[in-house]
A and B are shown apart, each in its own frame.
Chain A
Amino acid sequence: MVKRIFYFTIASLKMTFRNRFALFSSFLFPIAIMFAFSFYTQTSTPKLNIQILYNPTSKIFVEKLKNELQKTSNVSVLSINKKSSALKSLKNEKTDLIISIIPSKNKVIQPVYNRYIYQPAPISSLKVGASNYNVVFYLNHYSTNLFYEEIFVTNIEYNFLKNSISSLGIKSPFVFRQQFIKNSQTYSYLDFLIPGILALSLMQGIIFAVINIIVNYKDLGVLRRLAVTPLTKSDFLASLTLTRLIFGLIQVAILIFIASVFIKVIPQGGILGFLNLAIIVILGSLMFVTLSLLISSISNKTETVFPIANLITLPMLFLSGVFFSVQGLPVWLQNIVQFFPLTYLANSLRGVYEHGYSLFILRGDIIGMIIWVIILFALNVKFFKWE
């Protein structure tokens, strides 16, 4: 059995590497996206327009903060005391971000979402002298600088806290995570994008390759021919899975090499980081192989099965946080998207690649993927058809 699986895996790998279309979509396509975005971010760093909302109590503090923030390149900062004008300017995309620093008066601010404005719960509260302040970020989802919002928010959050401590002499009520502080200095959109591209290429590569193999082999009678050899169904499925795991690891390794050498986005966490990435890639591959087998059980016809695959992968492609943060989505949609297979894979790859997190920190995503594998495996046991 082991021998049959071994030789069939070798043959399948040969076939994969001889398939030009598979190679194009697995390597050239993601590499092209990475370079396109790297060129884009180098040549057109957007200018982020920020307005800081104050009231008479916070005015002095806000002016000091404004001066500090203006030291950051590509940021234009205005202080304003009229909330309605600030929000209007946000809606018209003249402003990308509003930071509101208003005394809290013990009032609890609830998260708000409407068509233009995303206002999460206050990310920070601040004590200046005897007053408590709520710090709230308002974002415009439709801003053309959308890609950068999360990055700037994290940077501003960090700078804001740093500045409020150093320049204003206030005792910090916050606990800093060392990792966060270290990375926030060099954080760019490419750091966000590249792990997402890895997750996306892994998903697309596996789903389209596995479905193509199963549907073609069924259609052309290859599976019937294999059925009269000692190769069993489990040998076939084991070898198919193993082929995708090996190919997935090679694919991700090559993409990481290119991202590190040519785009200078280097994975964090050293050797352990690479090991964690490998474990996540294996888990993600298992998840998508089982998903592909299930899709290919739905229909034997190419003309039906590929549209179904698109129907499943396209929402993940756009919503799972590959190109932009899930945080930019409406809260109700975030609540759904967080359970998508690609969201778990992109989040965990990003956690290791970008921050060098351990698998323990990423256990939510890891467990999510394991649960998907178990559910999909069980469904395949029930529905997978050989013919």
Chain B
Amino acid sequence: MSVIEVKNIKKKYGDLEAVKGVTFEVNKGEVFGLLGPNGAGKTTTIEMLEGISKIDSGEAFISGIKVSQNNHPLQKIIGVSLQSNNFFDSLTLSEILLLFSHFFNVKIDPSDFLKEVELEEKRKTYYKELSGGQKQRFTIALSLINDPHVLFLDEPTTGLDPQSRRHIWDIVSNLKKKGKTIILTTHFMDEAEVLADKVAIMDNGLILKMNTPRALIEELIKKGFKKKVVSDKRANLEDVFIDLTGKNLRD
């Protein structure tokens, strides 16, 4: 059953056509990876779906609600982690969580949310005092405050060390197990391979290909593609790094 239906959405900024017509569907409980180089139109696409930017043409539905800007029913069922995440510098993590819970009119215990992302001991810390990885984890915790059906994670692991990256992967996997539908944008193909059920590869505002990661790889091999250096698929250098330095978070 499709939770997200996107039908030929387009977005223009002046003369620049940032998104030239994108169509896809995401089923309940799926992790959908939106991949592509910088300027491909990934962030514009998801910002339209989040209701931050206006959809110029085409339409999209999330859990049957038509997507538009300042759409309160939509805001209540989505969770958002933006690419650049900044909050109120001089509020503590608990205070930010409580403030957002009042926006959504829900009752919460901040500790429950912070436990989920291993930040419970930081609940009295100001947001500005967190490290990059901690900020990213906190952002995910905050996006869960309204118990959303759909979660948008825009480059959640950019700039993080391997430990923090792997930790975010664990969080995303857990959320998937809990039945959340997730749209994830990333530059890291290994991340998409591990986390995404389905990926769409975008460039120049268009989706070039969309399928499961496995099917896309098989399709490429069928075309006669051969890697110049054959790597041992059983492990990669990051696995070596993690094996040597451990999985424990460093911040």
Give the docked Cα–Cα distance between A18 and B103 (Å): 22
| Residues 1-28 of chain A, each 1 if its beta carbon lies under 8 Å from chain B, else 0 | 0011001100100110011000000000
Whether A229 pairs with B84 at a CB distance below 8 angstroms is no
Whether B102 pairs with A221 at a CB distance below 8 angstroms is no
Closest chain B CB from A102 CB (angstroms)? 66
Whether A229 pairs with B103 at a CB distance below 8 angstroms is yes
For B100, the chain A residues whose CB sits under 8 A away are 229
Partner of A225, one of B70, B87, B89, B98: B87
Q: Is B95 an interface residue (CB 8 A)?
A: yes
Whether B82 pairs with A221 at a CB distance below 8 angstroms is yes
Whether B85 pairs with A225 at a CB distance below 8 angstroms is yes
Partner of B95, one of A14, A222, A228: A14
Whether B87 pairs with A11 at a CB distance below 8 angstroms is no
For A224, the chain B residues whose CB sits under 8 A away are 52, 82
Number of A-B contacts (CB under 8 A): 61
Closest chain A CB from B73 CB (angstroms)? 10
Residues of A206-227 whose CB lies within 8 A of B:
220-222, 224-225, 227
Whether A221 pairs with B88 at a CB distance below 8 angstroms is no
Whether B99 pairs with A7 at a CB distance below 8 angstroms is yes
| Residues 73-105 of chain B, each 1 if its beta carbon lies under 8 Å from chain A, else 0 | 001101010101111111100010011101111
Partner of A221, one of B50, B51, B84: B84
Q: Is B209 an interface residue (CB 8 A)?
A: no
| Residues 304-341 of chain A, each 1 if its beta carbon lies under 8 Å from chain B, else 0 | 00000000000000000000000000000000000000
For A14, the chain B residues whose CB sits under 8 A away are 90-91, 95
Instruction: Please give me the residue from chain A that is nearest to B90 by CB atom.
Output: A18
Whether A8 pairs with B99 at a CB distance below 8 angstroms is yes
Instruction: Please give me the residue from chain A that is nearest to B87 by CB atom.
Output: A222
Whether A228 pairs with B91 at a CB distance below 8 angstroms is no
Instruction: Please give me the residue from chain B that is nearest to A228 by CB atom.
Output: B80
Q: Is A232 an interface residue (CB 8 A)?
A: yes
Give the docked Cα–Cα distance between A221 and B80 (Å): 13
Whether A230 pairs with B103 at a CB distance below 8 angstroms is yes
Whether A11 pairs with B99 at a CB distance below 8 angstroms is yes
For A4, the chain B residues whose CB sits under 8 A away are 102-103
Whether B103 pairs with A231 at a CB distance below 8 angstroms is yes
Q: Is B222 an interface residue (CB 8 A)?
A: no
Closest chain B CB from A108 CB (angstroms)? 63
| Residues 40-74 of chain B, each 1 if its beta carbon lies under 8 Å from chain A, else 0 | 00000000001110000000000000000010100
Whether B91 pairs with A221 at a CB distance below 8 angstroms is no
Closest chain B CB from A304 CB (angstroms)? 21
Closest chain B CB from A383 CB (angstroms)? 19
Give the docked Cα–Cα distance between A232 and B50 (Å): 15
Give the docked Cα–Cα distance between A220 and B83 (Å): 11
The answer to whether residues A228 and B75 also contact, given A3-B102, A7-B99 and a CB cut-off of 8 A, is: yes
Residues of B89-139 whose CB lies within 8 A of A:
89-91, 95, 98-100, 102-105
Whether A222 pairs with B78 at a CB distance below 8 angstroms is no
For B98, the chain A residues whose CB sits under 8 A away are 7
Partner of A3, one of B52, B88, B105: B105
Give the docked Cα–Cα distance between A328 and B52 (Å): 53
The answer to whether residues A230 and B95 also contact, given A3-B105, A222-B87 and a CB cut-off of 8 A, is: no
Whether A15 pairs with B88 at a CB distance below 8 angstroms is yes
For B78, the chain A residues whose CB sits under 8 A away are 228
For B80, the chain A residues whose CB sits under 8 A away are 225, 228
Q: Which of B84, B98, B102, B105 has the most CB of A within 10 A?
A: B102
Closest chain B CB from A113 CB (angstroms)? 51
For B51, the chain A residues whose CB sits under 8 A away are 227-228
Instruction: Please give me the residue from chain A that is nearest to B104 by CB atom.
Output: A230
Whether B95 pairs with A229 at a CB distance below 8 angstroms is no
Q: Which of B80, B88, B95 has the most CB of A within 10 A?
A: B88
B residues near A (Cβ < 8 Å) are 50-52, 70, 72, 75-76, 78, 80, 82, 84-91, 95, 98-100, 102-105
* A-B residue pairs, 4 tightest by C-beta: A220-B86, A7-B102, A18-B90, A229-B103
Query: Please, could you name 18 A-B residue pairs with CB atoms under 8 Å apart, sorted by A?
Result: A4-B102, A7-B99, A7-B102, A8-B102, A8-B103, A19-B90, A221-B84, A221-B86, A224-B52, A224-B82, A225-B85, A225-B87, A227-B51, A228-B50, A229-B75, A229-B103, A230-B72, A230-B105
